[in-house]
Structure 1
Amino acid sequence: MEVVFIYDAVYPWVKGGVEKRIYEIGKRLSHWGFRVKWLCAGWWGKEQRKLEGIELIPVCGPLRLYSGERRSISSALSFALSLAKNAKINADVLDCQVFPYLSVFPFFRRRNLVLTWHEYWGDYWKEYLGYAGLFGRQIERIVASLDRKMVAVSETTARNLLNLGVKNVEVIPNGIDFEFIRRVEASEESLDVVFAGRLIKEKGADLLIKAMKLLPDYSCLIVGEGPEKASLIKSAPENVKFAGFMNYGYLIATLKSAKVFVLPSRREGFGIAALEANACGLPVVTINHPMNAVVEIARETGFIASPSPQDIAEKIKIAMESRKKMRRRCVDYARKFDWSVIAKKMADFYDNCGSSD
């Protein structure tokens, strides 16, 4: 069977959740006998190349994905127009990552098109783009109305799509490299609380800092980079330290040296970092928000706070007290999300799709 993924960014040139999902699933499908291609931007140049058995097919050169804190509309349009020249590519299944939406349209007539949803924004579009967000919201609704097979990476996104009238959404989550995490040794540094993520407003590191002011006896490490970093450092108390982006192995070692993972995100399509923390034996504290899919993880292996520093601080204290008895539950829960398990679910899904062109 031949599967073609459609997404502009490519791991490891761009290290985000969507491209990591394609890379991890794609390389496993290739090892299992699938022919796997990826229509993408050529972050390395114009030539086609192979990556762990995946045929990378650049349709354009490197893109400036972000304009400030927001996804670049002009880059999304440029990628979509470049894709249009490849709209007749042969495959049994075309798996298009829905965001940023415009890349769906060159293929919308193809009956073997699969739409993979990582988030559903709805009313958030206006907050993200102002009045221009009304256009984004309408494009999102048009894509959701297409009569094609759809995958959501979280129950939260699936529920939003079902509320919109979409039928038969298959939930196939993101995953983690559980066996790699299991082999990593903890770092020698001892930490109480860890946050890992891009330092933007939606991730809620500001709420964590306010909570840590109420917990002066606990240490906290905030791992990540982003436009909010300078203001966060300025507002942080002495018990909060900062680290830039870490290589993956060192991040896992750092998580294993901690006691509680906190991700008070206002918008999270899945939350791979929270699942990685579970695999390290850490309970997760997050906040209750309709766009925060980490709530699904915390229901099983952590605690859900209201979006207030006081409640976050209280849930951190409870997590610290409960962490030892929760450790096994956290690890066992994370084990179910190993990338090999997720890739098998996608392989079965693709087998049931077949080619309809």
Structure 2
Amino acid sequence: MDEFTERSLQAATQTDPGAMRGTKRSVPFAGFAINGKFASQRITGVQRVGYELAMAFQRLFPEDTDLPLLLPVDARTDLDLPQSKTVGRWLKGAPWEQLALPFATRGRTLLSLCNMGPLFARRQVVMMHDVAVYDLPENYSWKFRLWYRFAFSILKHSASHIVTVSEFSKKRITARLGIDESRISVVWNGVDHFGRIAADSSILSRLNLQNDGYVLVVGNLSVGKNLARVLAAIERLSERHDWKFVVVGGCDLRIFNPKAKAGCDLSTNIVAAGFVSDGELRALYENAACFVFPSLYEGFGLPPLEAMSCGCPVIVSREASLPEICGDAAVYCDARSVEDIADKVAQLMGDAALRDAWRARGREHARQFRWECSARQLLDVLERQLGVAGVALPVPPPVISRL
């Protein structure tokens, strides 16, 4: 049994030893509202976590439970948002969150799941995904850094409790914000939302890609994504192999090219896919020979789990939260060694049987990361840390790992 399974079972049985026998446990009934600011933004990264966790949290309660999702006026209309309620007529963005939202909670405990929340809400649980504004300040503008550092300095005192997404992030929050560990709980993300996405295989013909014939990379301008070393490894591999490397993300790859000053182009084996839809990304995961993610900094690291869930072998670094989240279901590389990144890619690309073994292992590992488990862990945190109680919910059968 791996750590995630143990944590899920502990969350299910901590307040009721009979839970393993199929009995029920007490959980908080209503008394909560959910910060729906994420619904006005592009659903990626922390917004994806906020949306999926909020929906899973609501599904745990009976349909007639009063558990509103509070939305700004510019919330997207293409999302399924049950029990949603628009509050504040004119305000949007941060002004809405800071000024309109606190008055709409009406004495409830507010669940803010995307790093930020009203600074002076009287009762609030905040999910802080990471403290990258401290650990990777070069990734952000000075205005963004100033706002978030100021906000975190308030929230660390005003929030009733802090939730984060990994033990790594918990340690970094403790170190950077000086919050006692007893005030921080870990709730891992799920990945089963990817199973609801229909693959859009048209991207394969558009990019002239063959099944099991390319390496997939997700990159952006963040220093933590380590794209410069990935591209250097690709350049090294392209000298000996004709493999294709598909880079997904919205950035000019030439700024990472060590030969750019000499006027050289990137390798012709690199396919810059740019931004892709969720369906296109699923198709790329499903058909890739492997996925390379040697990140230097991740609060959780959802892309490797997404790849695993789609049957794509994964290469990740040993940095930050990645060993904690990927366990023994990924190939590990030295993120700071171009040679080691290239060697690990070559090992997988040169052995089809090895790729198949990692596909099976990754799929099995990813099955354990379910949003329902995450929502139940959050409920357990609220019960233990805030002392709330209420209706009883059935405990699902335990997930037993076969790894």
Q: TM-score, normalised by structure 1?
A: 0.78
CA RMSD of aligned residues (A): 3.5
User: Alpha-carbon deviation of 1:237?
Assistant: 0.8
Which amino acid is 1:266 matched to?
A: L
Deviation for aligned residue 1:328: 2.0
Give me the whole-angstrom Cα distance separating, in 2, the residues matched to 1:183 and 1:124.
36
* 1:189/1:254 contact within 8 Å kept: no
- Of 122, 129, 135, 1:118 maps to 129
Pairing of 1:228-243 with structure 2 (within 5 A): 228-229=252-253, 231=255, 236-243=266-273
Instruction: Provide the C-alpha distance between the structure 1 equivalents of 2:336 and 2:151, rounded to a whole number of angstroms.
Output: 30
1:95 aligns with 111
- The 3-state SS of whatever aligns with 2:297 is coil
In structure 2, the residue matched to 1:170 is: 185
How far apart, in 2, do the equivalents of 1:318 and 1:166 lie?
43
> Which residue in 1 is equivalent to 2:99?
81
Residue 262 of structure 1 corresponds to which residue in structure 2? Answer: 292
1:273 and 2:303 equivalent?
Answer: yes
Matches of 1:155 and 1:94 in 2, distance apart?
Answer: 23
143, 150, 162: which one pairs with 2:162? 150
Specify the alignment match of 1:28 in structure 2. 56
Contact 1:120 1:157 in 2 (8 A): yes
CA contact (8 A) 1:181 1:252 kept: no
Corresponding residue for residue 69 of structure 1: none
Structure richer in strand, relative to its length:
1
Larger deviation, residues 329-338 vs 15-24: 15-24
Aligned 1:110-259 pairs, distance under 5 A? 110=123, 113-121=124-132, 123-124=134-135, 126-127=137-138, 128-130=140-142, 133=145, 136-137=148-149, 139-146=151-158, 148-163=160-175, 164-168=178-182, 169-177=184-192, 180=195, 189-190=210-211, 191-216=213-238, 217=241, 218-226=243-251, 228-229=252-253, 231=255, 236-259=266-289
- Structure 1 residues 201, 306: closer, same or farther in 2, change over 3 A? closer
8 Å CA contact 2:47–2:114 kept in 1: the answer is no
Structure 1 280/126 Cα, relative in aligned 2: closer, same or farther at 3 Å? closer
Matches within 5 A, 1:290-305: 292-302=320-330, 303-305=332-334
With over 3 angstroms needed to count, the CA separation of the structure-2 counterparts of 1:185 and 1:199, relative to structure 1, is same
Matched, 1:105 2:122: no
Instruction: List alignment gaps of at least 5 residues for structure 2.
Output: 1-28, 390-403
| More off after superposition, 231-240 vs 214-223 | 231-240
Residues 1:324 and 2:356 are matched in the alignment: yes
Please state how far the C-alpha of 1:170 moved relative to its aligned partner.
1.9
Q: Cα–Cα, structure 1 residues 299 and 198, in superposed 2: closer, same or farther, change >3 Å? A: same
Quote the Cα distance in structure 2 between the aligned partners of 1:135 and 1:18.
18
Deviates most, 208-217 or 118-127: 118-127
Q: Distance in 2 between matches of 1:210 and 1:278?
A: 25
Q: CA deviation at 1:24?
A: 1.8
- d(CA) in 1 for partners of 2:173 and 2:151? 14
Report how far residue 213 of structure 1 moved: 0.5
For the 8 Å contact 1:145–1:166, the answer to whether it is kept is no
3-state SS of paired residue (1:215): helix
2:400 is matched with: none
3-state DSSP of counterpart to 2:230: helix
How far 1:336 sits from its partner (Å)? 0.6
1:137–1:30: structure 2 CA closer, same or farther, 3 Å change rule?
A: closer
1:31–1:58 distance in 2 versus 1, CA, 3 Å: same
Letter in 1 for 2:195: F
Residue 208 of structure 1 deviates from its aligned partner by 1.5
Distance 2:322 2:36 in 1: 24
Identity %: 23
Equivalent residues, number? 332
Cα drift, residue 148 of structure 1 = 2.3
1:273 Cα deviation from its structure 2 partner: 1.4
Distance 1:354 1:51, change over 3 A: farther
Match for residue 377 of structure 2 among 342, 345, 353: 345
Q: Which amino acid aligns with 1:105?
A: L
Distance 1:242 1:121, change over 3 A: closer
C-alpha displacement of 1:242: 1.4
How far does residue 119 in structure 1 lie from its aligned partner after superposition?
Answer: 0.8
Taking structure 1 as reference, are residues 246 and 314 closer, same or farther at Cα in structure 2, changes over 3 Å only? same
Structure showing greater Rg:
2
What SS does the aligned partner of 2:272 have?
Answer: strand
Letter in structure 2 aligned against 1:323:
R
> Higher relative CO (CA 8 A, sep ≥ 6), structure 1 or 2?
2
The change in CA–CA distance for 1:242 and 1:134 in structure 2 (over 3 A counts) is: closer
* TM, length-normalised to structure 2: 0.70
Distance 2:158 2:169 in 1: 16
Aligned equivalents of 2:297 and 2:90: distance in 1? 30
Q: Could you tell me which residue of structure 2 aligns to residue 66 of structure 1?
A: none
